[in-house]
Amino acid sequence: MNKNGIIVLADINFIILTVLLLVAYIILLVQFDIANFGDKNQIIELDDGLKSSENEYLVLNYLNTEVNEFTFADMIYSWKNGGSVVWSEIESETEILFSKVYGNCYEFEIDGNNINAVIFNSDSASCIDFSVDLNEVVEICIDISEYDNKFENYKEEECFV
């Protein structure tokens, strides 16, 4: 500070401007970080939900498929309501059906019972709720992502080895 106070005035202006500049810079940086714009060539892909609905039609077709004059829907209904159909029958008929189309590259689950799967991979599965009673629904899920991946790379034959 000098006697005239000139430097003080200049210092205050400088400090104010510096602070404003810093604040603006920090705001920009925070926005940059929050918006996650830091990655170069960031690609946002939109897909999944509809893939799931595609395969729901597949499960619907399965339920409407006839086996010995009964549909799979009838068989599951009978099994869950104490009828003559037992689980092993549904399991074997389902395996015959899907192994013909997807080889061993599919996973299927009915009400927690796995077919062609040790542990059902629910991450990429498509499921529907099938009503077997007024108060009870069973969840039927299918996952054909393994087949689709091989199909994409022209390696679907590997599913039928």
Partner 1 sequence: MNKKGDYTIGKESLKMIVYLMLITVVSFIIISIFGVSIVKDIRTSELEQHVAVTRMLSSSNCLAYSGEERVFSGIIDLNKFSEERVQNCFSYKEREGQGLLLSLYDFNDNLLGEVETNKILVAQVPTCGLDKSDYDCYFTRKYILYDDGGEMKKGFLDFTVVTKLE
Binding site for partner 1 (CB under 8 A): 4, 6, 9-10, 13, 17, 20-21, 24-25, 28, 32, 37-38, 40-47, 49-51, 53-55, 57-58, 60-62, 64-66, 97-98, 100-102, 144, 147-148, 151-153, 156
C-alpha dihedral (44, 46, 51, 53), degrees to nearest 10: 150
How far apart are CB 87 and partner 1 at their closest, in Å? 21
Instruction: At 64, list the tokens.
Output: 């409407």
Sequence-separated (6 or more) residues with CB below 8 Å from residue 111: 80, 138, 139, 140
Closer residue to partner 1 in complex, CB, 8/86 = 8
Closer residue to partner 1 in complex, CB, 89/148 = 148
How far apart are CB 129 and partner 1 at their closest, in Å? 16
Closer residue to partner 1 in complex, CB, 54/139 = 54
**Angle, helices 49-64/72-80, rounded to nearest 10 degrees:** 80
How far apart are CB 146 and partner 1 at their closest, in Å? 12
What is the greatest pairwise CA distance in the chain?
108
Closer residue to partner 1 in complex, CB, 52/81 = 52
Closer residue to partner 1 in complex, CB, 49/82 = 49
CA atoms within 13 A on the CB side of 118: 0
> How many other CB atoms sit within 10 Å of the CB of residue 116?
19
Rounded to whole angstroms, how far apart are CA atoms 142 and 59?
A: 7
Rounded to whole angstroms, how far apart are CA atoms 55 and 75?
A: 21
